[in-house]
């Protein structure tokens, strides 16, 4: 069986945006930093994917990262709160992904970093692994 060449990123990102927009503190997830630059906010990190084949089924495993940006007044706790919101929403239901079926998803180890030379003071990094097959 040949590996499907179509990337699932746009479809997965659209499904995630539909799920999270208006439901997480600060807004997002955004593809780019919002023009207003109001903190906190969440952006999509750089996606990575790999082929998935098992028992005659061909699909993709997408690695999607959420970057949570905060100022010092909210700090680490603000990042942790938003990360918890994302985990709760992402794990509570199956994503509705146009052209794809979610097989499974889970979050990977996350972290919050103190930044020194950026516009934000803290960066929360929350990676998810999502396995999909094309419908």
- CATH code for the domain in which residue 5 is found: 3.30.2000
Residue 45 forms part of a structural domain: yes
Residue 15 forms part of a structural domain: yes
pLDDT tens string 22-80: 999 998 899 888 777 688 999 999 999 888 887 777 889 999 999 999 987 778 999 99
| pTM score of the predicted model | 0.90
Residue 24 forms part of a structural domain: yes
Residue 123 forms part of a structural domain: no
Residue 122 forms part of a structural domain: no
CA angle 98, 101, 106 (to 5 degrees): 110
Count of domains forming the chain: 1
CA distance 88 to 85: 5
CA distance 125 to 110: 6
Residue 74 forms part of a structural domain: no
Cis status of the peptide bond prior to 97, with omega within 30 of 0: no
pLDDT tens string 75-120: 899 999 999 999 999 999 999 999 999 999 999 999 999 997 667 7
Residue 32 forms part of a structural domain: yes
Structural domain harbouring 34: 1-69+80-108+131-135
Residue 114 forms part of a structural domain: no
């Amino acid at each position: 069986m040949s590996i499907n060449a179509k990337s699932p990123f746009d479809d997965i990102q659209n499904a995630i945006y539909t799920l999270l927009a208006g439901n997480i503190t600060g807004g997002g997830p955004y593809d780019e930093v919002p023009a207003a630059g109001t903190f906190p906010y969440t952006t999509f990190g750089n996606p990575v994917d790999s082929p998935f084949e098992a028992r005659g089924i061909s699909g993709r495993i997408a690695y999607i990262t959420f970057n949570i940006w905060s100022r010092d007044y909210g700090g680490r706790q603000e990042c942790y709160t938003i990360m918890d919101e994302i985990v709760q929403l992402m794990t509570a239901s199956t994503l509705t992904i146009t052209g794809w079926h979610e097989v499974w998803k889970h979050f990977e180890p996350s972290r919050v970093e103190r930044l020194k030379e950026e516009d934000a003071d803290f960066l929360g990094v929350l990676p998810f692994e999502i396995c999909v097959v094309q419908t």
